Amino acid sequence: MHKHKARMTDRRYKILILIAKGYKNEDIAQEMELSLCNTKLQKWRLYCYLGVHSAIDAVFVGIQNGLIAIEETSEKMKGVIYAEKTNS
């Protein structure tokens, strides 16, 4: 039996970058020319791929795994990640 293995697609990677930059769902949809529904589906698939449940965790895991650089994240996102991960 062949199991489907999730992979990091270009679309998911771009969504991760936009999340790191602080984009909201509507902004991501507009930037990528996707419907809002498709944007949410793609974010869910990204979260499943990374094994996370939130945008903050997705960015944190992305940084830890070398998918994105800390410099690619917004100052607000950096602050939230730093505050959350140091309080854990």
Q: Where are the domains of the chain?
A: 10-87
| Tens digit of pLDDT at every position of the chain (88 positions) | 334 455 788 999 999 999 999 999 999 999 999 999 999 999 999 999 999 999 999 999 999 999 999 888 999 888 888 776 666 5
CA distance 25 to 74: 16
Residue 72 token pair: 């690619």
CA distance 1 to 48: 21
How many C-alpha atoms does 15 have within 13 Å on its Cβ side? 26
Tell me the CATH class for 10-87: mainly alpha
Residue type, 41: L
CA distance 15 to 46: 8
